[in-house]
């Protein structure tokens, strides 16, 4: 009987960790979008998540209903994503140097400072319209909050994926990812397509902020660790791998929770990080990524 | 244009004089600027100097964003602290710190340096996060988040007060500076420079990409360990939280701010990041600095407007960022709260406006005003006639196959190149010629078949192994080392011999007059010749030339034919891919023709020219033309 | 229709195109003939805006188009079929074709309906493509890929069609096929600029031709007379 209880506790940990892991997958998906379009990612993506959460919080503080606040946050997130591309990434990529890594970090740093001054340094609760109770599945309890995170992340990713496949703009963005010059000669403005990818990526990040805000509470440092985790998910899955990152996100969330439970909360992140370094060393293109052919 | 004043001095001499003067000034500074606080700050600057010179080896010289330096710094600090706790002397404690950073650093470097760009940045970031977790959680050793306290040991039983410890740090910084400078001026440094431009070429020419990268990273880690040790002794207290992401970002920005690939840059960056937080606390000084910076940044956009053109992003963005910073400083009441944001704006302006940092901008100005005396060149020696004579079959391919996702690029190719033979390889575009060379040189792994170079079978898919067997090549799309001069490009490829021999190779290809010209400033034709010289300098047993005449002018082609015939006379076997028929006809003993990945003909140039299969594949099918003539009105 | 004057262009280092002037009349087929590395592709890329010319002018319909981004030039009616085909390998055959008509299609609306007429036309021309409509472009054979690349260009309803090395890497039988298609397109009155290393076939399908060597035009004239020119026969028709 004792073993059964242990097992149930672990399963509980894995399920709630995995559901939260979907939030990592969502932010990771944002990395994939921008990497596909222009081979760059935002090292300040966590800051966009945080700014999205704050915007959502302020808007619902103004009396807007939850869904309207979330939409508003997504619009602001999209604008910020576009801004990061325009200010920090485009020039550095034109000069073909790694300056964009620094510039995205710097823009993120400014974001944190701005948030500290606009909203204060304290963590704030995020009010939500769903109940605090939980549901029971075969002895494993799942809170409404966890369900919202998982469903929200899955839902928005599915929506973006559908838009990519079934609108002309989406197909054009895919074309730019595949071959920028060839897309240009088809009359596709590749710069706009890249900016659009960044905007969508920023929108996904802001959305992630509004769904995890209620869990983590909202503060300037809420997403400091999130960039690393989401980036781990994206890279381990492969920066061009589509839905492989859902699996990796699930796995990372579950591993974190279980190792926190077994080794102590300070060690939560360690196994994931070791997994990442080893995984990268063995398969640089990611678990689900395609092998790169060097051309000369 | 103003050409600058000639002082009759070498750049190296001027640099050394300047540096010595600054160090003497810094050593004398405690006499003027007294107090515990000032000395602490100066010591911190020296420590950061060592740390940033180390960080610059990866961020600057290797061109990879390294986010692990703060963690390596922490490991060095803890290593030293624990050694002191165990009663070690000062040199021993520093050695312990270096080892504590070097070993994990090297262990990280091996897997991480196979990666590029964001993947490398991420693996170093993970390492850094992991390190902080371990330092926090291994409480029995590190005392966890509470931190460790130590007392600074004495040096050979001389007690060190704050000032003498500062002098020690300064002396070590000077030593590290000199050592780094020598390291990056040596062949090792040239190799690092070269592999950043073309890792494919450095592997194909036997320079060894990964080995150099790992060693450079290890050097950077060792310096992080040394700096960590000094840091421990300076503060006499350690806490894991101090070595987190914030410090890392600060260090990275310090290197970029000061200027990458320069010890001066690292030093200036260190001065800035050590002093800046303290400068920021003085509001008047701070407002002055920000306003001054703003004035500097508006110069360029105004100049653009004056010449009636809209300033581009790179000119306008720094000014906008600084203007925003000025607004914050003068109009926001709680400016201290915004310090991080203003710092970010400042950095943004520098990274966008001064891509080469302060040191880069200063060097450029110096070169504008002063003309330095160049180093004298050594007389040429060696050259083509000193080449290795080949014996036996130079290259033997049997049943070689390679396909890319269903497309058969090379199919069942069997071929031999004999002693001293020149074999031409021709065929229409996309027929698989370059893929064949890529297979032989080890860039691609064959799907089937064998390769034998001068009697040896290299490991498949390894550039280095093919090189060791004696293969050397040039590239159809040039792979020059843009950061190096022509002479340095040869030096880095030579396994033996020095500058005289390198000059010999340049003389052989007619580039002796451009020895000190950077590859980025050489013409396309010159670069093609330089690639041949590079390959020759490795003393190959088989030389593969991939379309050497492509894009060359008529007189250059004549020179090229002369050069290849003299290589031929020296007895080096050559595999020559070429489209210019006159080049092929004049130089080749035999010609192989490829089409659709297969070898369709092999024989003397005259035999091949008459082969109907070749005429159809290579020169365009006759009957197509005739058929179309019927369709067309003309 | 298109007129390039003293155009210079190149990548790093020397100019690969050293002051070339060419002219293409409406409804004509003009060939650029020259060996590999002569500068044909660089010239074509400069015309389309894929690389920025270092000097000279390109007039298209009377307007200077130098300095415009490639997408803008494409929208004005110059459509390039690039060297090596450059299809969007992960996308389907149909999506590749639709992208050819991108500027004309609604961004979010029912784009398939808007393009159905054009698609039908392409499928009549290349029935093989209809069979493989939903296959990934990267999985097609070389000949099918070239047809798709031509189809993608035709979808744009171009005013000027530029074909850069359409025969590259194809088996002789397929090369024949491609040239047949080009001559039938020409018969419909399409304006075509053809850059080709197979001199004989190129001269056979074109009205006028420019012989290019080392970044300059060394000979120009009617294709029929060039095909009889002893210098051309010596150098290219061996």
List chain C residues with CB under 8 Å of A189. Answer: 69, 71
Beta bridge partners of C8: C18, C55
Q: How far apart are the first and last CA of chain B?
A: 59
CA distance C33 to chain B (A): 13
List, for residues B140-176, the tens digit of each pLDDT value.
Answer: 888 888 888 888 877 887 777 888 899 999 999 999 9
Cβ atoms of residues B183 and B223 within 8 Å: no
Place of tokens 């035709």: C154
Q: B touches which chains (3+ CB pairs under 8 A)?
A: A, C
Nearest one of B174, B161, B177 to B39, comparing CA atoms: B161
Residue B427 has pLDDT above 50, yes or no: yes
- Cα A93 to the center of its chain, rounded Å: 22
3-state helix/strand/coil string of B188-245:
HHHHHHHHHHCHHHHHHCCCCHHHHHHHHHHHHHHHHHHHHHHHHHHHCEECHHHHCH
What is the predicted pLDDT for the residue at C237? 64
C225 vs B: CB within 8 A: no
For B296-342, write each residue's pLDDT tens digit. 888 888 888 888 888 888 888 889 999 998 888 888 887 778 878 88
A97 falls in which pLDDT band (50, 70, 90)?
A: low
pLDDT score recorded for residue B30: 84
CA dihedral (B351, B355, B360, B366) positive or negative: negative
Q: Assess contact for C2 and C24: CB atoms under 8 A.
A: yes
Closest CA to B437 of B547, B525, B514, B332: B547
* Chains adjacent to A (≥3 CB pairs closer than 8 angstroms): B, C
Enter the tokens of residue B88: 């070690």
Cα C234 vs. chain centroid, distance in angstroms?
Answer: 27
C13 touches chain B (CB under 8 A): yes
Task: Compare all CA atoms of chain B with the CA of A40 and give the residue at the minimum distance.
Answer: B118
- Optimal mutation site among A38, A46, A83, A105, interface B, most CBs of chain B within 10 A: A105
Q: What is the mean pLDDT of residues B472-483?
A: 89
Query: Is the CB of C14 less than 8 angstroms away from the CB of B547?
Result: no
- Using CB atoms, which residue from A110, A232, A277 is nearest to B345? A110
How far apart are the C-alpha atoms of C77 and C71, rounded to whole Å?
A: 10
Q: Is B395 exposed, middle or buried (0-12, 13-18, 19+ CB in 10 A)?
A: buried
Q: Are B485 and B526 in contact (CB under 8 A)?
A: no
Cβ–Cβ contact B436 with A under 8 A: no
The CB density around residue C160, as the number of other CB atoms within 10 Å, is 22
Test mutation, C11, C14, C227, chain B, max B CBs within 10 A: C14
CB contact under 8 Å between C49 and A174, yes or no, is no
Please report residues of C whose CB lies closer than 8 A to that of A183. 71, 88, 99
Residue B631 pLDDT level (bands cut at 50, 70, 90): very low
Q: What is the pLDDT of residue B629?
A: 34
Residue of B407, B520, B580 with shortest CB distance to C35: B580
Measured between alpha carbons, how far is A48 from A68 in angstroms, rounded to an integer?
19
Q: Is the pLDDT of residue B245 over 90?
A: no
Q: What is the pLDDT of residues B313-324, one digit of tens each?
A: 888 888 999 999
* pLDDT one-digit tens code per residue, B583-619: 888 899 999 988 888 898 899 988 887 888 777 765 5
Q: Residues with Cβ < 8 Å from A162, sequence gap 6 or more?
A: none
Which token pair is A225? 């660790």
Element (H, E) at A22: helix A2-38
Cα separation, B66 vs A276, whole angstroms: 16
- The secondary element (H helix, E strand) that includes residue B385 is none
- Residues from chain C that touch A172, judged by Cβ atoms under 8 A, are 99, 102
Contact criterion met (CB below 8 Å) for A216 and A260: no
**Partners of residue B548 on adjacent β-strands:** none
Q: How confident is the model at residue B632 (pLDDT cuts 50, 70, 90)?
A: very low
Chain B hits for A294, Cβ within 8 Å: 200, 443
pLDDT band at A291 (very low <50, low <70, confident <90, very high): low
Q: What is the pLDDT of residue A292?
A: 60
pLDDT at B623: 42
Residue B44: predicted pLDDT: 94
Residue C90 in contact with residue C110, Cβ under 8 Å? no
Report chain C residues whose CB lies below 8 A from the CB of A171.
91, 95, 98-99
Calculate the average pLDDT of chain B: 86
Closest partner residue to C165 (CB to CB) among B429, B520, B628 is B429
SS3 state at B502: helix
Residue C70 touches partner A, C-beta closer than 8 Å: yes
Confidence band, pLDDT 50/70/90 cuts, at residue A3? low
Averaged pLDDT, C203-232: 91
Q: Do residues C167 and C40 touch, judged by C-beta distance below 8 A?
A: no
- DSSP letter string, A234-282: HHHH-TT-TTHHHHHHHHHHHHHHHHHHHH-GGGTTHHHHHHHHHHHHH
What does the pLDDT read at residue A162? 93
Residue B47 CB: number of other CB atoms within 10 A? Answer: 28
Question: pLDDT tens digits for A140-196?
Answer: 888 999 999 999 999 999 999 999 999 999 999 999 999 999 999 999 999 999 999
Interface contact B125-A228, CB threshold 8 A: yes
The pLDDT value recorded for residue B630 is 33
Instruction: For CA atoms C157, C161, C167, C172, give the dihedral sign.
Output: positive
CB–CB of C50 and A178 under 8 A? no
Looking at the DSSP assignment, which residues form a beta bridge with residue B111? none
ipTM of this complex: 0.92
Q: Residue A178: which of C48, C90, C106 has the nearest Cβ?
A: C90
Q: What is the pLDDT of residue C104?
A: 92
C80 to A168: CB separation less than 8 angstroms, yes or no? no
d(CA A276, CA A282): 10
User: Is a pLDDT exceeding 90 seen at residue C168?
Assistant: no
What's the CA gap between A187 and A107, in Å, rounded?
A: 32
Listed residue (B579, B587, B580) closest to B605, CA to CA: B587
d(CA B256, CA B277): 17
Contacts of A116 in chain B (CB under 8 A): 337, 340
Q: Of B549, B595, B632, which is closest to C183 when you measure between CB atoms?
A: B632
Helices assigned H by DSSP within A141-189: 144-166, 168-178, 180-185
The answer to whether B495 and B538 are in contact (CB under 8 A) is yes
N residues, chain C: 238
Kindly identify which residue of chain A lies nearest to residue C95, measuring between CA atoms: A171
CB contact under 8 A, C171 and B596: yes
Residue located via tokens 């580039």: B511
Q: What angle do CA A245, A247, A251 make, to 5 degrees?
A: 110
Query: How many C-beta neighbours within 10 Å does residue A5 have?
Result: 10
Percentage of chain B beyond pLDDT 70 is 95
Q: Are strands C63-64 and B542-546 parallel, antiparallel or unpaired?
A: unpaired
Share of chain A above pLDDT 70, in %: 95
Query: Which has more confidence, C14 or B141?
Result: B141
Asked if A284 and B115 come within 8 Å (Cβ–Cβ), the reply is: yes
Evaluate whether C102 touches A187 at the Cβ level (below 8 Å): yes
B101 has a pLDDT exceeding 90: yes
Task: Determine phi and psi for C122, rounding to 5 degrees.
Answer: -65, -40
**What residues of A are in contact with residue B121 (Cβ under 8 Å)?**
43, 101
| pLDDT (0 to 100) of residue A78 | 97
Tokens of A161: 């994926």
A6 shares contact with chain B (CB less than 8 Å): no
Minimal C-alpha gap between B525 and chain C (Å): 8
Q: Which residues of C touch A169 (CB under 8 A)?
A: 107-108
B627 vs C: CB within 8 A: yes
B210 and chain A in contact, CB less than 8 A? no
B252 touches chain A (CB under 8 A): yes
């Amino acid at each position: 009987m004792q073993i059964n209880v242990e097992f149930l506790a672990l399963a509980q940990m894995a399920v709630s960790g995995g559901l939260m892991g979907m939030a990592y997958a969502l932010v990771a998906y944002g990395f994939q979008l921008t990497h596909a379009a222009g081979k760059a990612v935002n090292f300040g993506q966590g800051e966009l998540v945080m700014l999205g959460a704050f915007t959502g919080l302020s808007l619902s503080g103004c009396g807007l209903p939850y869904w309207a606040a979330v939409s508003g946050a997504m619009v602001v997130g999209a604008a910020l994503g576009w801004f990061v591309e325009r200010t920090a990434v485009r020039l550095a990529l034109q000069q073909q140097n790694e300056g964009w890594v620094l510039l995205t970090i710097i823009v993120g740093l400014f974001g944190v400072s701005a948030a500290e001054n606009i909203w204060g340094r304290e963590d704030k609760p995020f009010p939500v319209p769903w109940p605090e109770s939980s549901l029971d599945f075969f002895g494993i309890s799942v809170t409404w909050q966890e369900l919202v995170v998982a469903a929200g992340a899955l839902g928005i990713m599915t929506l973006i994926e559908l838009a990519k496949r079934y609108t002309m703009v989406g197909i054009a963005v895919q074309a730019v990812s595949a071959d920028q010059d060839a897309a240009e000669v088809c009359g596709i403005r590749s710069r706009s397509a890249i900016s659009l990818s960044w905007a969508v990526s920023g929108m996904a990040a802001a959305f992630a902020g509004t769904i995890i805000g209620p869990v983590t509470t909202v503060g300037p440092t809420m997403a400091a660790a999130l960039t690393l985790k989401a980036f781990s998910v994206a890279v381990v899955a492969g920066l061009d791998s589509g839905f492989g990152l859902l699996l990796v996100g699930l796995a990372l969330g579950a591993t974190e929770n279980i190792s926190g439970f077994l080794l102590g909360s300070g060690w939560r992140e360690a196994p994931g990080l070791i997994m990442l370094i080893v995984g990268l060393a063995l398969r640089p293109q990611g678990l689900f990524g395609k092998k790169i052919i060097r051309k000369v | 244009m103003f050409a600058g004043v000639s002082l009759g001095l070498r750049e190296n001499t001027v640099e050394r004089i300047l540096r010595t003067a600054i160090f003497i000034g810094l050593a004398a500074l405690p006499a003027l600027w007294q107090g515990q606080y000032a000395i602490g700050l100066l010591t911190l600057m020296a420590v950061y100097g060592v740390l940033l010179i180390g960080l610059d080896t990866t961020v600057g010289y290797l061109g990879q964003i390294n986010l692990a330096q703060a963690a390596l710094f922490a490991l060095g600090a803890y290593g030293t602290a624990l050694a002191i706790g165990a009663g070690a002397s000062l040199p021993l404690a520093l050695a312990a710190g270096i080892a504590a950073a070097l070993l994990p650093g090297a262990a990280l470097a091996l897997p991480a340096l196979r990666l590029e760009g964001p993947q490398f940045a991420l693996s170093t970031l993970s390492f850094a996060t992991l390190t902080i977790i371990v330092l926090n959680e291994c409480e029995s050793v590190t005392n966890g988040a509470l931190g460790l306290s130590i007392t600074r040991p004495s040096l050979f039983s001389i007690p060190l007060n704050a000032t003498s410890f500062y002098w020690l740090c300064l002396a070590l910084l000077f030593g590290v500076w000199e050592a780094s400078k020598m390291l990056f001026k040596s062949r090792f440094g040239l190799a690092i420079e070269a592999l950043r431009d073309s890792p494919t070429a450095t592997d194909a020419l036997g320079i060894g990409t990964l080995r150099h990268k790992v060693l450079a990273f290890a050097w950077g880690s060792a310096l992080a360990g040394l700096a960590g040790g000094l840091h421990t002794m300076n503060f006499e207290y350690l806490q894991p939280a101090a070595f987190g992401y914030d410090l890392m970002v600060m260090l990275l920005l310090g290197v970029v701010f000061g200027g990458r690939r320069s010890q001066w840059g690292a030093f200036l960056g260190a001065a800035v990041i050590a002093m800046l937080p303290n400068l920021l606390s003085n509001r008047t000084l701070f407002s002055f600095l920000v306003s001054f910076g703003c004035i500097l940044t508006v110069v360029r956009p105004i100049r653009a407007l004056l010449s009636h053109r809209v300033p581009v992003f790179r000119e306008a963005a720094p000014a906008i960022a600084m203007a925003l910073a000025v607004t914050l400083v003068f109009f926001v009441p709680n400016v201290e709260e915004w310090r991080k944001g203003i710092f970010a704006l400042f950095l943004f302006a520098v990274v966008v406006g001064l891509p080469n940092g302060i040191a880069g901008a200063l060097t450029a100005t110096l070169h504008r005003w002063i003309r330095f005396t160049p180093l004298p060149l050594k007389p040429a020696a060696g050259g083509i006639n000193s080449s290795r004579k080949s014996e036996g079959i130079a290259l033997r391919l049997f049943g070689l196959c390679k396909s890319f996702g269903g497309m058969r690029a090379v199919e069942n190719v069997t071929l031999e190149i004999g002693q001293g033979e020149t074999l031409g390889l021709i065929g229409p575009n996309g027929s698989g010629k370059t893929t064949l060379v890529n297979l032989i040189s080890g860039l691609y792994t064959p799907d089937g078949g064998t390769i034998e170079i001068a009697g040896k079978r290299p490991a498949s898919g390894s550039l280095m192994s093919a090189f060791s067997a004696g293969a050397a090549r040039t590239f159809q799309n040039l792979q020059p080392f843009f950061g190096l001069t022509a002479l340095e490009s040869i030096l880095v490829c030579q396994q033996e011999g020095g500058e005289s021999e390198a000059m010999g190779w340049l003389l052989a290809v007619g580039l002796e007059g451009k020895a000190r010209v950077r590859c980025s400033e050489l013409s396309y034709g010159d670069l093609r010749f330089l690639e041949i010289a590079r390959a020759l300098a490795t003393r190959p047993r088989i030389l593969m030339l991939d379309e050497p005449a492509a894009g060359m002018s008529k007189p250059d082609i004549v020179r090229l034919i002369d050069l290849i015939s003299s290589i031929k006379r020296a007895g080096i076997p050559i595999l020559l891919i070429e489209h210019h028929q006159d080049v092929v006809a004049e130089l080749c003993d035999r010609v192989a023709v490829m089409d659709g990945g297969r070898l369709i003909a092999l024989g003397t140039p005259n035999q091949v020219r008459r082969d109907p299969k070749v005429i159809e594949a290579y020169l365009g099918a006759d009957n197509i033309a005739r058929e179309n003539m019927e369709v067309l009105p003309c | 229709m298109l007129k390039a004057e003293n155009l210079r262009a190149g990548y790093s280092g020397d100019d690969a195109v050293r002051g070339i002037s060419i002219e293409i009349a409406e409804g004509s087929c003009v060939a650029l003939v020259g060996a590999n590395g002569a500068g044909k592709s660089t010239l074509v890329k400069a015309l389309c805006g894929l690389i920025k010319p270092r000097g000279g002018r390109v007039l298209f319909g009377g307007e200077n188009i130098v300095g415009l981004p490639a997408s803008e030039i494409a929208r004005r009616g110059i459509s390039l079929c690039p060297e090596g085909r450059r299809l969007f390998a992960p996308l389907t055959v149909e999506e590749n074709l639709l992208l050819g008509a991108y500027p004309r299609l609604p961004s979010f609306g029912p784009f398939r309906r808007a393009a159905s007429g054009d698609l039908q036309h392409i499928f009549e021309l290349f029935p093989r493509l209809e069979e493989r409509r939903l296959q990934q472009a990267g999985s097609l054979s070389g000949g099918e890929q070239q047809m798709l690349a031509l189809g993608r260009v035709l979808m744009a309803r171009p005013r000027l069609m530029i074909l850069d090395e359409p025969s590259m890497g194809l088996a002789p039988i397929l090369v024949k096929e491609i040239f047949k298609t080009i001559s039938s397109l020409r018969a419909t009155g399409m304006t075509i600029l053809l850059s080709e290393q197979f001199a004989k076939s190129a001269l056979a399908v074109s009205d006028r031709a420019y012989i290019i060597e080392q970044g300059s035009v060394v000979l120009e004239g009617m294709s029929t007379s060039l095909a009889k020119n002893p210098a051309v026969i010596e150098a290219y028709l061996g």
